[in-house]
Amino acid sequence: MQYRLWAAIAVTVGVIGAALVLSSAWAGSHPRTEKIIVTGLAQQDFVSDLIVWRASFSRTGATVAAVYGQIKADADRVKQYLVSKGIPQDAVIISSVDINPVYRSVQTGNHYEQVFDGYNLNQNVQVESKDVDKVEALSREISELIDAGIVLNSQPPQYYFTKLAELKLDLLAKASRDGTERAEKIAENAAGRLGKLLRADMGIFQITAQNSNEDYSWGGALNTTSKRKTASITVKMEFDL
């Protein structure tokens, strides 16, 4: 009788041991699937600290020699004007002269012919400065040059930020904290406990105009037309639960 009792106990212990071994093997080959996946977001408004303004001016005449002196004088007057408005000389870049032949259409019978009509000489001017407000105002006050007979074509200023690398790192840290807090709240509401971070993927860094409905892009939006911008980034995070 006692022998049978010990034999039963031995069998039971063996069964329990085998079950524990199988359970451990199953857990090792079948990792837990309880996970929390969240997306952390961080945004920050900032003001551009670098402006680039570009314009072009041109002259047209019968020969290059006849026009070259005019456009050279225009270039000198443009640079003098900008310097007189407080722009440093080294911030003013004037390109070399671009020379292009000009043709006009002349009807001959039932068809048109392209007839040589002289040359167009063109130059570009660029101002790059950290004095954003001054250059911005100057770009709107070029009527003085136009009144002086200079055919000036002004482009809208472009705005940049020289500390994007630091801003990106700061937003990345904030987005990670935001994602962790979201995951902790989900785990708490589910009566669970947040485990270790399994994976984190950085989203696209986006820069858009402030208070606008500008769309994000897959490659990352980079607004250059607005002085006041908003930077944003996301981080997709996966936690064990």
Q: Are residue 41 and residue 85 in the same domain, yes or no?
A: no
208 pairs with which residues across the strands?
230
Tokens of 145: 């040059």
Count of structural domains within the chain = 3
Q: Are residue 216 and residue 185 in the same domain, yes or no?
A: yes
- Residue 184: which domain range? 32-47+163-240
Q: Are residue 60 and residue 114 in the same domain, yes or no?
A: yes
Please give the share of the chain, as a percent, with pLDDT higher than 70. 86
Q: In terms of Cα–Cα distance, which of 175, 161, 179, 163 is closest to 204?
A: 175
Detail the DSSP E strand segments found in 161-204.
197-202
Give the distance, in angstroms, between the CA of residue 91 and the centroid of all CA atoms in the same chain.
24
Q: Are residue 87 and residue 147 in the same domain, yes or no?
A: yes
Q: What's the average model confidence in pLDDT over 95-103?
A: 94
Q: Are residue 110 and residue 168 in the same domain, yes or no?
A: no
Return the number of other C-beta atoms located less than 10 Å from residue 45's C-beta.
10
Let me know if 10 is exposed, middle or buried by CB neighbors in 10 A (0-12, 13-18, 19+): exposed
Q: Are residue 58 and residue 147 in the same domain, yes or no?
A: yes
Q: Model's pTM, two decimal places?
A: 0.77
Q: Are residue 61 and residue 152 in the same domain, yes or no?
A: yes
Q: Are residue 168 and residue 198 in the same domain, yes or no?
A: yes
Q: Are residue 151 and residue 61 in the same domain, yes or no?
A: yes
Q: Are residue 24 and residue 101 in the same domain, yes or no?
A: no
Q: Are residue 61 and residue 72 in the same domain, yes or no?
A: yes
Q: Are residue 64 and residue 122 in the same domain, yes or no?
A: yes
Q: In terms of Cα–Cα distance, which of 183, 11, 181, 150 is closest to 80?
A: 150
Give the C-alpha separation, 26 to 32, whole Å.
10
Q: What is the pLDDT of residue 32?
A: 56
Which among 139, 157, 175 is the end of a domain?
157
Q: Which residue has the higher pLDDT, 136 or 113?
A: 136
Q: In terms of Cα–Cα distance, which of 234, 225, 232, 176 is closest to 206?
A: 232
Q: What is the pLDDT of residue 12?
A: 42
